[in-house]
Structure 1
Amino acid sequence: MSRDSYDEQLDRLTGVLAVMSRDASAAIRRASTALLEVDRGAAETVLAEDATLDARRAEVEAMIPEVLVRHQPVASDLRLVVCALRIAGALERMGDLAVHVAKVALRRHPVGVVPEPAMPVMTALAEAAARVADKCAVVLATRDRLDAMQLGLDDDEVDAAQERLLSLLVSGWPYGVESAIDLALLGRYYERYADHAVNVARQVVYLVTGTIRL
């Protein structure tokens, strides 16, 4: 295989990851719309499109052996394929977590999951997670180490919003145990979603520098 052909395969690999990152970002936005606006259609779209993310992860995994076997890769190329596997896994899990959010919304439909007192903090949590997802897509496209490091700081917003949510739930929550459990789970889903986005950024730092430090 010529070096040009090999480079084309690597470009295709990174292209699939970029598409996955955009899909994962779109999924959490739709899931949040389903949750906050009681939008059944948005929830069903998240569930239906999750199969696409799964298929793209499988596509990445299928490309790796061919990339490795048909050419003698240099160290930076090896880092790319290792990172690609880890990034694809993280992005797929981000999609799965968006599905979890959508399923909570569907389970309660047509009743809203989020009572009015929790709406501001849940909205803040959803918006913070969406910003992290968008920046994750940018980091994958640019491979900029500073952008990757900034994403780690943005994750703090998600953590802070989750803490505010939990504080609300333990301070005399008047809507019952079932409601509290739903909201606590939702907070966890958003927090884990953002954590996976940060993990993607860590892999980008490793790809660029050869070390993971974020």
Structure 2
Amino acid sequence: MPRDTFEARLDGLQADVCEMGRDVTDRLDRAVTAYERRDPAAGRAVADADGEINERYLTLEADCIDLLALHQPVASDLRLVVASFKILTDLERVGDLASNLGGYVDAMAGDTVPSVPITDIGEMTLAQLDDAITAYETGDPRRCRDVAAADTDLDERCGAATNDLVRSLVDRSPDADVAATLSDTKRYLLTVRDLERAGDHAVNIAARTLYMIENDDALIY
């Protein structure tokens, strides 16, 4: 394959990964919004569309395998393909987490859980994802390190949200529907956990990107 054709395929792969990343980020954003608004229809729409992300993932994974198997890229080209392959897996899993969040909204019993907002957690997670995808797109090592550093703040905020919920439940009326409250509390905690996991996947994307750019595996381990 001529070098210019091969480079065009690499550029196309990177552009497709970025497009999938933006789509996954948008789905997670819509799931968080659905949770905040207690909008089961919007949550269900996110959950039901997960198959589209899975299909795109498989298509782009096949592209990576083709580039590796048939064209034997070396050095920086090889790192780009391998990083893209790994990043696709993280993006697909973020898509799964967005689908989970949408499903939690659809299954909520109502207002049994005290009002403990997750807007700031969602914004922190989405910012991490956006920065990680931008770092991959632009080849920005500083942004990769910033994504990893920001994960500590996200972890702390998720822990604080859990504590806030527990304190709210302590003050809960004894007449509350215990079964519904427990069920919705579980979903709230799963929501916080899944947003934290999405942040972890953003760090993985940044780590693979840093390795792709500078052959530096510091963030991977």
Is 1:35–1:114's contact at 8 Å kept on the other side of the alignment? no
Structure 1's unaligned 5+ residue stretches are none
C-alpha displacement of 1:108: 1.6
Partner of 1:177: 182
Partner of 1:127: 123
Is 2:41–2:106's contact at 8 Å kept on the other side of the alignment? no
TM-score w.r.t. the length of structure 2 is 0.87
Closer/same/farther in 2, CA of residues 180 and 47 from structure 1, 3 Å limit: closer
Structure 2 matches for 1:191-210, cutoff 5 A?
Answer: 191-210=196-215
Partner of 1:115: 114
SS in 2 for 1:171: helix
Single out whichever of 88-97 and 125-134 deviates more from structure 2. Answer: 125-134
Q: C-alpha deviations, 1:6-46, integer Å up to 9, x for none?
A: 11111111111101110111011000111001223421331
Partner of 2:146: 150
Partner of 2:66: 66
Could you tell me which amino acid in structure 1 is paired with residue 82 of structure 2? V
CA distance in 2, matches of 1:113, 1:43: 18
**Number of equivalenced pairs:** 210
Closer/same/farther in 2, CA of residues 210 and 53 from structure 1, 3 Å limit: same
Is 1:149–1:201's contact at 8 Å kept on the other side of the alignment? yes
Partner of 1:16: 16
C-alpha displacement of 1:64: 2.1
Could you tell me which amino acid in structure 2 is paired with residue 186 of structure 1? T
Task: Calculate percent identity across the aligned residue pairs.
Answer: 30
User: How much is the aligned-residue C-alpha RMSD, in angstroms?
Assistant: 1.8
TM-score w.r.t. the length of structure 1 is 0.90
Q: C-alpha deviations, 1:169-193, integer Å up to 9, x for none?
A: 3336127433332221111100001
Q: C-alpha deviations, 1:61-91, integer Å up to 9, x for none?
A: 1112321233242211111121111100000
Closer/same/farther in 2, CA of residues 178 and 70 from structure 1, 3 Å limit: closer
CA distance in 2, matches of 1:126, 1:80: 29
Q: C-alpha deviations, 1:130-169, integer Å up to 9, x for none?
A: 2112212211211200011111122223212111112123
Is 1:132–1:194's contact at 8 Å kept on the other side of the alignment? yes
Closer/same/farther in 2, CA of residues 37 and 172 from structure 1, 3 Å limit: closer
C-alpha displacement of 1:206: 0.5
Could you tell me which amino acid in structure 2 is paired with residue 189 of structure 1? D
CA distance in 1, matches of 2:56, 2:197: 21
Is 2:45–2:102's contact at 8 Å kept on the other side of the alignment? no
Structure 2's unaligned 5+ residue stretches are none
CA distance in 2, matches of 1:82, 1:180: 40
